[in-house]
Amino acid sequence: MFAIQIFHAVEYIHNLGYSHLDIKLENILLDEFFNLKLADMGSSVDVRDTQGMTDRRRGTPMYMPPEILHYKSGQEYDAYSADVY
């Protein structure tokens, strides 16, 4: 049940044209009814105009996909895929 709620939260953010880029346990909160809330949008990126591509490397390095850690400055990657990693 929790995994489905996380998937729905990420899908909702992506449908708005944003990528979270820092999904980790510390950023997943529970309300009083045990509904998940995805928190800390400080690392999120607006990718509406770029079809999900960005050149910004944001988030916690230990939680980033390995291919993004090794990207060179200015090189673009799919931010939506990075959230799914």
Average pLDDT over residues 53-82: 85
Please check the confidence at residue 40 and state whether its pLDDT lies above 80: yes
- The CATH number of residue 30's host domain is 1.10.510.10
Predicted confidence at residue 1, as pLDDT, reads 84
Q: Which residue in 22, 49, 55, 83 is the catalytic one?
A: 22
49 is an active site residue: no
Predicted confidence at residue 71, as pLDDT, reads 80
Please check the confidence at residue 20 and state whether its pLDDT lies above 90: yes
Q: Which of helix, strand or coil describes residue 13?
A: helix
Predicted confidence at residue 68, as pLDDT, reads 82
Task: Give the chain's largest Cα–Cα span.
Answer: 43
- CB contact at 8 A, 83 and 23: yes
> What does pTM read for this prediction?
0.87
> Any idea what the Cα angle at residue 72 is, between residues 70 and 76, rounded to 5°?
100
Tokens of 76: 């673009």
By residue range, what is the domain housing residue 14? 2-84
Domain count, the chain: 1
